[in-house]
Structure 1
Amino acid sequence: MTDARITELRAEHCRGGAAVAVAEPRLSWEVGGGAADWRQSAAELCCDGRLVKLDGPDSVLVDWPFAPLAPGRRCEVQVRAADSEGVWTPWSRPLPVEAAFLGRGRWRAEPIALAAPDRPAQPVLLRRSFTVRGPLRRARLLWTALGVAEMEVNGSAADDTVLSPGWTDYRRRLVHETADVTDLLVPGENVVGARLAGGWYTEEYGFFGQVSRHYGEQPSLMAQLVLEYEDGTSEEVRTDGRWLARGDGPLVSSGIYAGEHHDARRELPGWSRPGATARGWSPAVPTGEEVPEPEPRSAPPVRRIETLPVREVATSPSGALLLDFGQNLVGRLRIRVRGPRGTTVTLRHAEVLEDGELALRPLRRAAATDVYVLSGEGEEEWEPRFTFHGFRYARVEGWPGEFDPADVSAVVVHTDMARTGWFDCSDPLLNRLHENVVWSMRGNFLAIPTDCPQRDERLGWTGDIQVFAPTACFLYDSSAFLASWLRELALAQERAGGVVPFVVPPVTSGLGDGAAAAWGDAATVVPWVLHERYGDTGVLRAQYPSMRDWANVLLAESGGTGLWEGTLQFGDWLDPSAPADRPGQARTDSDIVASAHLFRSLDIVARCAHLLDHTEDARRFADAAEHAREAFVRTYVSAAGRMVSDAQTAYAMALRFGLVTDGQLRRRLARRLAELVRRDGYRISTGFVGTPIVTDALTDHGYVETAGRLLTQTENPSWLYPVTMGATTVWERWDSLLEDGTLNPGEMTSFNHYALGAVADWMHRVVAGLAPDEPGYRRIRVAPRPLPGLEHASARHLTPYGPAGVRWRRRGEEVVVRASVPPNTEARVELPGREAFSVGSGEHEWVFHQPAPEPRSGPLQLDSSTAEVIDDPRAYATVIEAIAEHSPQMAREVGRNTVWGERRTLRQALMFLPPQVAVDVERALAALARG
């Protein structure tokens, strides 16, 4: 007997009962309990009584060992596992698995729409009566839309999804939903109905006033209800000309950017139930549009996840009623209201306030406004159906009677992924930063990975997810979500000759086309991250043509030189030194960014080709990567350890991407990077490209304190500056909100962008010390690097093998590290002052010595170097506070513009300020020295 047991069995990446999109879903299972160093030697799988034994340790994404599932088939799977002594666990609980798809060619539903719409993107109600002629064994409803739809059967919702079927490139790929509606049907007459709106399909996309409907003017629906009778017969109810439609329902208008207008006076009670009047309905028309055959959903759907109450009610200077939910979120409002018929309640949304009013400028042309017209029939409850907003604040106009904040709540909406990662430490500001990253991911993982959720954009910018993918895969199970989006990316590439569009799905033709470094590299980086974090070679196999095509585009761009130069690039986007209206004008030259990514993608594709046994490709791309590496070093790196662009991002790429391999040269580059970070006053000086890697580049080479100062900086620009300004999500710009509370003057300002939050992955891996050491966490890396000033830190992650965790806490001059290693894995442990070693599964504890840093030598004065001042946080704060007594703005400028170096004195830094400032600084430093 053993106390080891199967704690979870999954089909593909689905947790719980699995409606799978493939006929041969891969299986994964986790083992809990058991002795230390538990290892699987064999496993047995059972599917509806058929038994298969598998020898070996594999327990993650194991190939389906049974006959392929027929469309619609249901079965139950169980597993048990044996340890190295041959002792078996009990059988797992049965996992229901359903093949949630039709066979190829079985989709016979036609797209149907309103016959004579009177306005663009007109919402539609659709219905069809049919007869259930006998006892049913099962009924499945499958549907998709060119637009967004909610299905009803006899007046009840078919499922609980939101904004279905999501956003795909409708001309190339359609995804269908599947719902079991057996329990909603009755013998005799039944009705299936649909609420349909345009959603992403009819939205107008574009910039600088050049907007258009990229896909179509009107939404349409495809649905197929499969009835399976107890007598073995079956029939289908499909969308065709026998459906009825009307365009004068209560939903007057709906748009992703605009919001929703609902007139409850136009409600049609019972419209999706048997016996509803046919008056006002007319036949729907098949559109005749050629569409791709719908494929089953493989990613989780969008759902309502939670609700938040009103935190505070205020009146704006203009007299408007403002609601504060205390958290910048993505979703919509749910209201409960009573009032006279025809009363109009208007809800407008924004992320921040400016001068006490909603800050609407960052929304650009997105109205983000919902309107509800009351029916006057008692208490009414309403929530928009087919739109979403990014907001913390809402302005309410037209509310009848006395307002009660309990009558309004915020409904949080996003793709329903499982949470898998957590972080905590002794610094509340860092904890808030991490929570901000979580909320930004939640808000922007909505159908696709978007850049922002509030303005007239909300697009799948490839550069954003390329840098954020590692963080995403720790925080939530993003595997199926990102794999589905990568299919969109590959289809878009096919249309563009291998070039990856700036956004996926591609709707921004007005921006031009062409290859962009760091953005296009999503084609190679994101699949590689999924392999690293989930052990998924299947996604590499599926995406390999896309990865290879992007690598070939890069080779063409380099023209045999090994460099990528002279083309339009986004570069190190939103470097804080860039002008507000020129976010690509970074300190690091865009050619260096492009050439570094040229090497990075070629290197990834070479490794992927080797893993998949594409021998010739592996050799070709490895040779090309080495050629690019040598060209990069020869062109951009001096023997003295200086980059042509003497900027943080340039050094971080050279080190972190492995462009420089010579150990001595790497040490020189790392030293210079640390000098630059100090020279900039431990303020961040990187944009989208450098931000995820600058702290790694420092700690990889021993500059832990420098990285810690960079992370914990609170002055602008820094990760914690937004936190000190009340941010509850990650901002697009380091200074989206300026110190005086005004908005950044740039045309592009969002308060919910996850890209700069990619540092959270380093917090998990390095600050707490939990990382994958082999794909899928088959071997875990335990390597905490306690930052000065932190008393404790921890990270916990639900790996594919089970929960893993690392936590450390200071105890005097010792650090106590505890680690949880899941069964069937091992850990490589790297602790300061010790040789690396390995341990098996179980609970572990170690202690290492880490004395407190030596105090800074001697008192500081005006002739001390600025480096000495910035390296002593108390002295620096004293100087800044003394200057701020004269002028806060002057203090900010000194902090931001001083060169904090070993050969610059504090006196020199103050030489252009009024003489009394230097006198007061000197007096303050003397007082500090006296204690």
Structure 2
Amino acid sequence: MKITRLKTNRVTNPLGFDLGKPRFSYVVNDTQAKKQIGVRYVVSLDNEFIDIVFDSGRREEANSLAYELQLELKPRTRYFWRVEVWADNGEHATSETAWFETAKLDETWKGKWIVPEMNKDVLPVLKKSFLLHGPVSCARIYVCGLGLYEMYINGFKVGNEFLTPGFNNYHKWIQYQTYDVTTLLQSGLNEVSVNLGNGLYKGRFGFDGHSSELYGDVFALLSEMVITYYDDTTEIIYSDNSWTAGQSLIVSGNLYDGEIYDSTLNPTKIYPVQEVEMGYERLKARLSLPVVMKEKRKPIQVIHTPAGETVLDMGQNMVGWVEYRTNAPRGKVITLRYGEVLQGGNFYRDNLRTAKAEHQYTANGSEAVVRPHFTYYGFRYVKVEGWDGELNLEDFTGCVLYSDLEDTGHIETDNPLINRLFLNAMWGQKGNFLDVPTDCPQRDERMGWTGDAQVFSGTACFNMESYAFFNKYCFDLASEQDERKGEVPVVVPAVNVRLGGSSAWGDAAVIIPWNVYLHYGDTNILQQQFESMKSWVDYIIQKDKDSGGQRLWTVGFHFGDWLSLDSSNPDTPFGGTDKDFIASAYYCYSTRIVAKTAKILSKEVEAAYYERISNEVRAAIQDEFFTKTGRLAIDTQTAYALALFMDLAPADHLEKIVEALRKRLKADRNHLKTGFVGTPYLNHVLSAHGCNDLAYTLLLNEDYPSWLYAVNLGATTIWERWNSILPDGTISGTGMNSLNHYAYGAIVEWMYRCVAGINPIEEAPGFQRVRLEPKPDARLKRVNATLKSASGTYRSDWEINEEGNLIFYFEIPFNASAEVYLPHASLSNVNINDNLWEQANMLGEQQGEAVWLNLQSGSYTIYYVPSRSYLNEFSTKTPLVELLQHETAASIIRNTMIEQAGVNLDDFGDSLGVSSLHDLAAIYSLSPEMLDELDQRLRSIKC
């Protein structure tokens, strides 16, 4: 037995975070045991556990997801902790040691806010020299620099993170960071220097792309270095007017345009600094995960374009920058320009709009490793100018930058296009989870759009350990609501965007915390966000009252089904689904979630109130948008998806709604028409309501519009639009066209939940208990999925072998269990671990349709002959478009139709839609005998 993944507030060994009441979590693996029967937490002030300050004693009820430490914490103190676990088979283990270290807490700051007495547009370096008075045992620095800062001690960078102090609502709160700098100090004279740069706080940023000074108009620094000597005496080096300022070698820069760096400069003028009253009330120990260099990549080739350009191809649309080594002569200017796509084989960046996205470096004649400091880029291609001679790929390194998130989920199939789609969604998350869940990382925007974050939050939590990331984002979201009477802005931080209150976008206040709770089982996120969740729903309720109290949401601005393809006006991005319906659907859905949250938090009065409101909204929706016979009055894919997913349809007419959705899809040639609102839900409702075949069709379509259309055109991330690139490789537009925009990557949540079948259960959040319900389809022969959940690692694999048998392999972690649903199974022919049935408990059986099992921790191989064939069989009921894509089937069909019916199907092109020969029999006078003959020939095809 081994205890691993020890985390505090779901962060490994957090240094200087705002932890509130710390909550411990861990995972147990490498054991044959099934259940935990005892646990003990011990906290000490030393890693030998001599000075113990907390001991829970052995407890039976403490779980592994979020044990809240009941201890009065001291400022600037490291606490060591470990956990012991006892198992039901007699095994016992003690973990390695983990730790967390507090920041200043309520301790008074000695440091002063200082501002350089320089032109505010010149990027400064602030410095302080100091002497050490003896050997140092420990040194910490508590620091915040505005707009962005990088700190150095004796020429060495402090910490491994970038773009500090992070992106948040600086009007409400400002984060400071804590660093261990013990090893950077030297005996005698030391120097600390801080480079300050533009960013969200001060530089060019905002929705219009041209604003600046959104939160402040001067560079500023606050710092305290607490030095502890071996004789236990302390000294504090803090920011005050004894510091000095000088001009940085960074000449200019901002997040959109990049950076200009001149290493030939030798600024000698020293400027004083001024102590200013910026206050301390907004200061808060960090919530943001560090933004770090998570990966390094080498370019895959040098391209010499038809236009005579020299371009590096990184082989992947990524976020960060390119670092390079050069020994160029003094005065040589090297410029790197960043873009996502080539056009006509040439470098291109018009879709970045006004963002210059470049880095300019002037060499001083010495060998140097060059990188930017206060900017980042979204790119695959880099145009290099000013380089003498041929480029050597070894001189260039792509530095992939994003918040320090742990990968937790992975899916692989036998279809390389699907595998690439999964990676595209993962890379979209990497590129846009840079402190804020941005909509895009490359153009003059890069803002935390709430709607994008909301629809992707489920996928995000499957892909990566996202608790701490969303905890900070939700905290910031709540801070924006304070002065908006509960309204949620469309971007967080709100920067200069005044727009707010849109359904689906504002519902991020409710849906993101709920998804985080579901995945990690920690009620603290609900406790922290409950007032925010409630105030958003109260805002909707007030809008409803203002418009007549119909229990519908019919007023205000809404994005609707953004960028869908079903609008009668092809020039509008708002989509064809009635916005009042979408808004009212979210009104019902979010109010229901708030009711459930209140119940979890034992707020019974509020739970009853919001549940009643949700039920009333549901009834009003049925009165307004459904006919008396249960027909939905809005005939769009998104409307049906919302009605089914959010449980809006009359219960006795569900089959009618499902059938209407099937008809709608058939009319749309079984292709997507959905936008940002409908896409995340569509495949879920299809799989949940007997249309799994259609869900797979949507996944596997390769022509426009589909996910694999982009993959076939070389996409390595998710696009903003279904046709961001046209079939001939040209970009479809430049006004709003990001090639790294993760929203449509929400399909990956369906892949985890339905293809692989790994589903968290509300009653046992954090994957303490799951529903394992894979839904195989013959168009995939193999699926392998793993999830390092909060409770441990789940694995769900399935295969359809050549005989058509179904083979499942499941792994369930220690102290967890699963409800397993086996499709088209009969108890009599299900083999579990060579028929070791004592390892499973029966939950139920629907003869020939499904078997339900209850499985405890362990590994299980299950196989059986399904009651329905899972081999791909063609017939006259198969859509013609599918038959015509298969060479042998197409030959049979064309020959038969020409010879016996005198019809050339090639003349019809796309107008065939999803009609089958069975559908067209009457039109083309196909006799039953002819259909039977065709069926025999088609079913003989091996596919």
Say whether the fold is shared (TM-score over 0.5): yes
Structure 1: distance between partners of 2:418 and 2:562:
24
Aligned residues: percent identity?
Answer: 33
Query: Which amino acid in the other structure matches residue 847 of structure 1?
Result: Y
Shift of 1:59: 2.6
Could you tell me which residue of structure 2 aligns to residue 226 of structure 1? Answer: 226
Query: Which amino acid in the other structure matches residue 653 of structure 1?
Result: L
Could you tell me which residue of structure 1 aligns to residue 505 of structure 2? Answer: 519
Shift of 1:669: 1.1
Shift of 1:44: 4.6
Q: CA offsets, 1:353-404, max 9 Å, x none?
A: 1122222221011000110111112x22201111100000011111123322
- Paired residues of 2:33 and 2:88 also in contact (CA < 8 A): no
Structure 2: distance between partners of 1:238 and 1:896:
72
Q: CA offsets, 1:662-684, max 9 Å, x none?
A: 1x411221122122223212211
Shift of 1:659: 1.6
Shift of 1:79: 1.1
Structure 2: distance between partners of 1:602 and 1:186:
59
SS of match in other structure, 1:200 = coil
- Paired residues of 1:473 and 1:530 also in contact (CA < 8 A): yes
Could you tell me which residue of structure 2 aligns to residue 488 of structure 1? Answer: 476
Structure 2: distance between partners of 1:692 and 1:535:
23
- Residue 103 (structure 1) aligned with residue 105 (structure 2): yes
1:541 to 527, 530, 544: 527
Cα distance, 1:930–1:779 mapped onto 2, change above 3 Å: closer
Could you tell me which residue of structure 2 aligns to residue 613 of structure 1? Answer: 602
Gap runs ≥5 in structure 2: 824-848, 895-904, 925-933
Could you tell me which residue of structure 2 aligns to residue 259 of structure 1? Answer: 258
Could you tell me which residue of structure 1 aligns to residue 421 of structure 2? Answer: 433
Shift of 1:199: 1.6
Q: CA offsets, 1:253-287, max 9 Å, x none?
A: 1110010101111267xxxxxxxxxx522212234
Query: Which amino acid in the other structure matches residue 817 of structure 2?
Result: E
Shift of 1:335: 1.4
1:834 to 850, 856, 875: 850
Q: CA offsets, 1:46-66, max 9 Å, x none?
A: 533353224224333443445
- Equivalent positions of 1:381-392 (< 5 A) are 381-392=369-380
SS of match in other structure, 2:318 = strand
Structure 1: distance between partners of 2:907 and 2:574:
21
- Paired residues of 1:681 and 1:895 also in contact (CA < 8 A): no
Q: CA offsets, 1:590-648, max 9 Å, x none?
A: 11111110111100001101111112211111110000111111211235453222011
- Residue 21 (structure 1) aligned with residue 18 (structure 2): yes
Structure 1: distance between partners of 2:249 and 2:667:
61
Could you tell me which residue of structure 1 aligns to residue 542 of structure 2? Answer: 556
- Paired residues of 2:136 and 2:227 also in contact (CA < 8 A): yes
- Residue 236 (structure 1) aligned with residue 233 (structure 2): no
Q: CA offsets, 1:191-243, max 9 Å, x none?
A: 11111101221233345576343123332221111122333332322222111
Could you tell me which residue of structure 2 aligns to residue 529 of structure 1? Answer: 515
Structure 1: distance between partners of 2:805 and 2:500:
54
- Residue 56 (structure 1) aligned with residue 44 (structure 2): no
Structure 2: distance between partners of 1:829 and 1:859:
32
Could you tell me which residue of structure 2 aligns to residue 796 of structure 1? Answer: 786
- Paired residues of 1:679 and 1:901 also in contact (CA < 8 A): no
Shift of 1:872: 7.1
Structure 2: distance between partners of 1:854 and 1:790:
10
Cα distance, 1:536–1:892 mapped onto 2, change above 3 Å: farther
Query: Which amino acid in the other structure matches residue 73 of structure 1?
Result: T
Cα distance, 1:930–1:488 mapped onto 2, change above 3 Å: closer
Q: CA offsets, 1:289-341, max 9 Å, x none?
A: 34644222233200111221121211222211111111000011111122221
Shift of 1:892: 13
- Equivalent positions of 1:138-287 (< 5 A) are 138-207=138-207, 211-247=211-247, 249-266=248-265, 279-287=268-276
Structure 2: distance between partners of 1:64 and 1:928:
63
1:753 to 733, 741, 744: 741
- Paired residues of 1:171 and 1:291 also in contact (CA < 8 A): no
- Paired residues of 2:805 and 2:864 also in contact (CA < 8 A): yes
- Paired residues of 1:587 and 1:645 also in contact (CA < 8 A): no
Structure 2: distance between partners of 1:894 and 1:455:
42
- Paired residues of 1:171 and 1:292 also in contact (CA < 8 A): no
Query: Which amino acid in the other structure matches residue 745 of structure 2?
Result: G
Q: Which moved more, 1:404-413 or 1:777-786?
A: 404-413
SS of match in other structure, 2:205 = strand
Cα distance, 1:195–1:41 mapped onto 2, change above 3 Å: same
RMSD, matched Cα: 2.9
Q: CA offsets, 1:829-862, max 9 Å, x none?
A: 11113332211101112224332357444499xx
Gap runs ≥5 in structure 1: 269-278, 861-866, 883-890, 911-923
Shift of 1:927: 12
2:368 to 362, 376, 380: 380
Could you tell me which residue of structure 1 aligns to residue 118 of structure 2? Answer: 116
Query: Which amino acid in the other structure matches residue 453 of structure 1?
Result: P
Cα distance, 1:493–1:640 mapped onto 2, change above 3 Å: same
Shift of 1:876: 12
Q: Which moved more, 1:33-42 or 1:525-534?
A: 33-42
SS of match in other structure, 2:126 = strand
Query: Which amino acid in the other structure matches residue 97 of structure 2?
Result: P
Cα distance, 1:810–1:267 mapped onto 2, change above 3 Å: farther
Shift of 1:177: 1.1
Query: Which amino acid in the other structure matches residue 363 of structure 1?
Result: L
- Residue 319 (structure 1) aligned with residue 318 (structure 2): no
Could you tell me which residue of structure 1 aligns to residue 643 of structure 2? Answer: 654
Structure 1: distance between partners of 2:209 and 2:318:
28
Query: Which amino acid in the other structure matches residue 382 of structure 2?
Result: A
Query: Which amino acid in the other structure matches residue 518 of structure 1?
Result: A
- Residue 80 (structure 1) aligned with residue 66 (structure 2): no
Could you tell me which residue of structure 1 aligns to residue 828 of structure 2? Answer: none
Cα distance, 1:69–1:823 mapped onto 2, change above 3 Å: same
Structure 2: distance between partners of 1:729 and 1:416:
20
Query: Which amino acid in the other structure matches residue 104 of structure 1?
Result: D
Query: Which amino acid in the other structure matches residue 99 of structure 2?
Result: P
Structure 2: distance between partners of 1:23 and 1:587:
46
Could you tell me which residue of structure 2 aligns to residue 913 of structure 1? Answer: none
Cα distance, 1:58–1:829 mapped onto 2, change above 3 Å: farther
Cα distance, 1:892–1:183 mapped onto 2, change above 3 Å: farther
Could you tell me which residue of structure 1 aligns to residue 705 of structure 2? Answer: 717
Q: CA offsets, 1:867-905, max 9 Å, x none?
A: 5556875499959x99xxxxxxxx999766765458997
- Paired residues of 1:170 and 1:291 also in contact (CA < 8 A): no
- Residue 94 (structure 1) aligned with residue 97 (structure 2): yes
Structure 1: distance between partners of 2:349 and 2:579:
33
- Paired residues of 1:201 and 1:219 also in contact (CA < 8 A): no
- Residue 823 (structure 1) aligned with residue 822 (structure 2): no
Cα distance, 1:772–1:17 mapped onto 2, change above 3 Å: same
Cα distance, 1:407–1:136 mapped onto 2, change above 3 Å: closer
- Paired residues of 2:36 and 2:85 also in contact (CA < 8 A): no
Shift of 1:716: 0.4
SS of match in other structure, 2:492 = coil
Could you tell me which residue of structure 2 aligns to residue 915 of structure 1? Answer: none
Shift of 1:72: 1.3
Cα distance, 1:490–1:141 mapped onto 2, change above 3 Å: same
- Paired residues of 1:27 and 1:62 also in contact (CA < 8 A): yes
Could you tell me which residue of structure 2 aligns to residue 667 of structure 1? Answer: 655
Q: CA offsets, 1:385-441, max 9 Å, x none?
A: 111000000111111233222212211111111111111111110000000000000
Query: Which amino acid in the other structure matches residue 265 of structure 2?
Result: R
Structure 2: distance between partners of 1:925 and 1:581:
41
Cα distance, 1:929–1:837 mapped onto 2, change above 3 Å: closer
Structure 2: distance between partners of 1:392 and 1:780:
39
Shift of 1:485: 0.8
SS of match in other structure, 1:495 = coil
Structure 1: distance between partners of 2:889 and 2:635:
27
Cα distance, 1:186–1:211 mapped onto 2, change above 3 Å: closer
Number of aligned residue pairs: give it: 882
Could you tell me which residue of structure 2 aligns to residue 347 of structure 1? Answer: 336
Query: Which amino acid in the other structure matches residue 854 of structure 2?
Result: S
SS of match in other structure, 1:469 = helix
Q: CA offsets, 1:792-812, max 9 Å, x none?
A: 112111111211111111122
Give TM-score scaled by structure 2 length: 0.89
SS of match in other structure, 1:692 = helix
Structure 2: distance between partners of 1:873 and 1:849:
29
Cα distance, 1:137–1:337 mapped onto 2, change above 3 Å: closer
SS of match in other structure, 1:620 = helix
